Structures are given as C-alpha cells and as structure tokens.
Amino acid sequence: MSFAAEVKKELAAILPPAPHCRMVSAAVLLQNTAVFEEDVSGELRMRFVMPRSGAAAKCFTLLRKTSNINEKLLSGDSERAKEIAAKYGFTDADGRLLPPVHTVPRQMLRNACCRRSYLRESFLSCGRINDPRGEYHLEFSCADEAQAAQLLEVLASFGIAAKQRRRGKSCAVYVQDSAAIANILSLMGAHASLMEMENSLILKEMRGTINRRVNCETANLEKTVSAAQKQIEAIRELERKGILKTLPESLQQIARLRTMMPDASLKEIGDALTPPVGKSGVNHRLRKLCSLAEGEP
C-alpha cells in the first residue's frame, strides 16, 4: 500500500465526535464525492461518483449518523435525496438544483475543530501526498477557484502558507515544505502516518549527515594523496639532480620517511621522526623540499 493510501485509510476511520464537525465532514465529502441529478421523471437522485472509495463509504456513514438515513438513499429514495440536498445547500428554497458548489458556508468553519475536519475530508476526497522517502509534496485537487481559495484560507488559519496553481479548468493547492506537511497530517489526525513521515525524516537526515562526512573525508583524503604525490615527485627530482644528499639531515630524514610512507599523514610522519616533530614542522620541511625541487632558494 502506498503512503498516500495509508494516510487516506487512517483518515477514513476518523469520525468526529462533535455534531457540528460531522456536519462539516459530511458537507465536504458530499461536495467532492456525490452528485445530485434529476431523472427523466423529474425526481431528484443522489449518487456517488466513486462508490467504492473510502471517501464515499465515510460520507454514507456520516449521513447515517447526522441525518438518520439508510441504504434506501443509495437505492433511489428521492425524498431522502431531496432532504440531504436541501440540508447541505445543493437546492434552493423551492427544491431546484443549484450549480455545483465546492465550498462550505464560512460560519461552519468558525471553530478550529471544524476546520480540521474540513482539511481531513478534503484530503480524503481530493488529496494526495508523496512518499516521504522521496520529494515532499502534499496536494489538494480543487474543482474551482472558490474551493482553492477556501482551502488556502483554512490552511492559513493554522499558519500554513500553501501555494496554488491552475491545471486546465481546475486548480491545485499544494505544500512542499516537510514541516508544513507534518503539521497538516497532525491537524487531520493522521498520527500514525505522521510518525512514519518523521521516521523517514530522521533517516534522511542521518543519511545526509553520513554522506556529508564521507564526502568531506574523501575530499581530505584526495587532497592528502595529491600533496603526498607532489612531495614524492619533488624528492625524486632532488635525487636526480644530486641535491638531496647535500641537504641538512633533518630534510633528508623527512625525504626518506615520505618516500617510505607515501600514504602516511603529516602526524604519522612526525611521530616516526626522532625526536618526534609536530604536523606544522613536518609540513614546513616538506614544503621546503618542494621549493628546492622547483629551483627556489
């Protein structure tokens, strides 16, 4: 199961305890998963566009709890369809169908708990999220600009700055910041998914730290090997010119050790000298050998 499917499965199992939150949840799910239409006889019918989805199943459960409906609604009960349509704003006062609406009345979102329910059902019905082991991306696919604007407003009320982009006639509201995505998961109540994401974040940080350390050590090693090779070439040049044997014993000793220990660090060479010499002293002598090989005094 993908990470997005796991998140939706977790959200589908959450039923808000407060009646006003259940009303918000049912309204959002109806707008995103159900359609009301008149048949040839003029009777109003309701159907789910994705009848087997977790969002549709949860919507039916919420309707049963908030409106005391039963399976007849899904079997063509026109009167119950009219009742639900009127209750959630799909028809006018005369029972006529209104144009599709994908926002809920602002007064329904006054409480923070209701806004959390709004986010939860919006994601369940029209959201997606990337696997946190890859790039961070959480998105709501919106039917129109009004729905996108309401989502942006609700997210902003929790301090989350989301972005919007158009996709043909529809548009998307999205977040790509890991901290903001984690905040949204928490607000929606997807705590198990949040823990999985945080574990992935920790593993990513650990891998990043290890990679940086390895890269640093590799760069230092390459630098050391390059410097050692240059020093050995300088020593051989001094030998070829017959200069090395004329140099002070301290420089000859360093030259012998560097040649014998091509992979050794400055500290290791210094410890092998008698008496031992510090890294700066070893470096000074090796630099002197390189200067002499280049003809500098």
Give the pLDDT band of residue 153 (cuts 50, 70, 90).
Answer: very high
Last residue of a domain, one of 167, 189, 211: 189
Residue 39 has pLDDT above 90, yes or no: no
My answer on whether 98 and 245 are in the same domain is: no
Give the residue, 132 or 40, on which the prediction is more confident.
Answer: 132
Question: What is the per-residue pLDDT for 69?
Answer: 64
Q: State residue 73's pLDDT score.
A: 55
Quick: pLDDT tens for 58-70: 888 888 877 666 5
The strand ranges marked E within 69-204 are 127-129, 138-142, 163-167, 170-175
Determine the structural domain holding residue 289 and report its residue range. 221-293
- 8 A C-beta contact, residue 6 and residue 193: yes
Is the same domain home to 279 and 157? no
Which position has the token pair 């070829």?
A: 240
pLDDT of residue 231: 87
271, part of any domain: yes
- Do residues 25 and 171 both lie within one domain? yes
- What integer pLDDT is reported at residue 68 of this predicted model? 65
CA dist., res. 33 & res. 28, Å (int):
9
Rounded to two decimals, the pTM is 0.70
Number of structural domains found in the chain: 2
204, part of any domain: no
What share of the chain has pLDDT > 70, as a percent? 95
Of residues 49 and 17, which shows the higher confidence score?
Answer: 17
Rounded to the nearest integer, the mean pLDDT of the chain is 86
Task: Output the domain CATH number for residue 173.
Answer: 3.10.28.10
Stretch (H or E) spanning 44: strand 44-48
Same domain, 235 and 181: no
Together in a domain, 116 and 260? no
161 plus 256 within the same structural domain: no
240 and 125, same structural domain?
no
The answer to whether residues 162 and 74 belong to one domain is: yes
Statement to judge: residues 128 and 236 lie in one domain: no
